[in-house]
Amino acid sequence: MATTKDYRLGEFTFPRGWFMIADAQELNTHKPLAVRFFGKDFALYRGRATGKIVLLDAYCPHMKTHLAAPNTTSYVVIDGGGSNVEGDSIRCPYHAWRFGADGKCDDIPYHDGPIPAAACVKSWTVVESLGGIFVWYDPEGGDPQWAHPSLPQWDDSAWVRGHWDHLGELRQHPQEVVDNIVDYGHLGPIHGSTVDRYENEFRGHMATQRQCGGHRTLTSADGGSAVLHTDTTYHGPGVLISMLTGMFETVLMITHTPIDDGLIKVWHTLIVKSPFNNTQVTSADLVAARQYQESSRLAFCQDFEVWTNKAPCLSGLFIPSDGPFMKARMWYRQFFNPRAQQQEYLDQCEGVYVPKGAIAYSQPA
Ligand code: FES
Ligand SMILES: [Fe+2]
């Protein structure tokens, strides 16, 4: 397993950005969830009062009890009907100190005096969007630098919302996954694509790949299109959104989040425009969209299988006909370094790139 340091990405171990930390369905009960990301433990829960999502540092400042680890024996949990979430607050199972959504202790049942100011945990900026829970992570503690991921298609009745496929943990540094955005050479051998036109573009916090051509699994000879167009963008380091026009008009999302340095968690979903062109999706639309999501998941698993077993690519043997790996890695570095240095990395990567011998996507066919 290789680390951020091994890839020489910058001063921070984990990158700045929006990251998925849970499938919203995991918070359908009132039980808090113990989650671990960025080398830290957290307590994640949905407030009972407002439904608001709250993410707190996990350990109670009193004596370091985990606020959200599974507990079935404390009377705090038993008396709470199997949960220690109260309103939008959470009560520690050990001595029953209670913390609000802002992370401040607001009740110590056996104490009359003022609550010590130090009795608080950090509360993180989280949003519920696209059926997922996303956190803004910033090693410098700054406010979000760009808007959290959202899509109008999610709320459009003509589109089928997918479920999140939990692809599990991958013992690789996220660099290996981010490399995929420029990996022109793997599209044929891994995915069965016959690429007609291809290009990458880096602008600010976004890295884009545009390509079109045939595809063995995501196009159809009858009915749908025989050509697959994909317009795929990393919105920051951990959220990939791809607009697909092939068998169906689709938005694909792949999210990955560091758990520890060199270990990530990965999710995948699709939103599919009604395959039968309905304005309100029907059960037939649902069936077709679910099948398409499964094809897309299997296409992504083609990458995943290689990543599961490969050694870290700390310095590749790249050739001019490969995609712009070094530019992508330069783009990725902006998130591992102070914001004040961001432009230095962008100056070295912003632009449009076409692999040697390929035809640019933006060139008319
Ligand atoms: S350890 Fe949390 S209240 Fe004592
Ligand atoms: Fe791929």
Position 365 scores a pLDDT of 61
pLDDT computed for residue 1 by the predictor: 79
Half-sphere exposure (Cβ direction) of 110: Cα atoms closer than 13 Å: 4
Residue ranges covered by each domain of the chain? 17-137, 154-353
Residues lower than pLDDT 70 in the chain: 219-225, 364-365
Per-residue confidence (pLDDT) for residue 222, from 0 to 100: 55
Between the CA of 191 and the centroid of ligand 2 the distance, in Å, is: 7
Q: Report the DSSP beta bridge partners of residue 159.
A: 273
Query: By alpha-carbon position, which residue is closest to atom 4 of ligand 1?
Result: 95
Q: Which residues surround ligand 2, an ion (CB under 5 A)?
A: 180, 303
Question: Going by CATH, does the domain composed of 17-137 fall within 3.40.50.300?
Answer: no
Q: What share of the chain is helix, strand, coil (3-state, %, to 5)?
A: 20, 35, 45
Atom of ligand 1 lying closest to residue 67 CA: 2
φ/ψ region of 87 (left if φ > 0, alpha if ψ in -120 to 50, else beta) reads left
pTM of this prediction? 0.96
The Cα 115–Cα 349 span in angstroms is 51
What is d(CA 65, CA 53) in angstroms, rounded to the nearest whole number? 21
Q: Where are the alpha helices (DSSP H) in the chain?
A: 75-79, 175-178, 187-191, 283-309, 325-333, 342-346
State the pLDDT at residue 332: 98
pLDDT of residue 152: 96
Domain 154-353, what architecture?
Alpha-Beta Complex (3.90)
CA 307, CA 310: separation in Å to the nearest integer?
A: 5
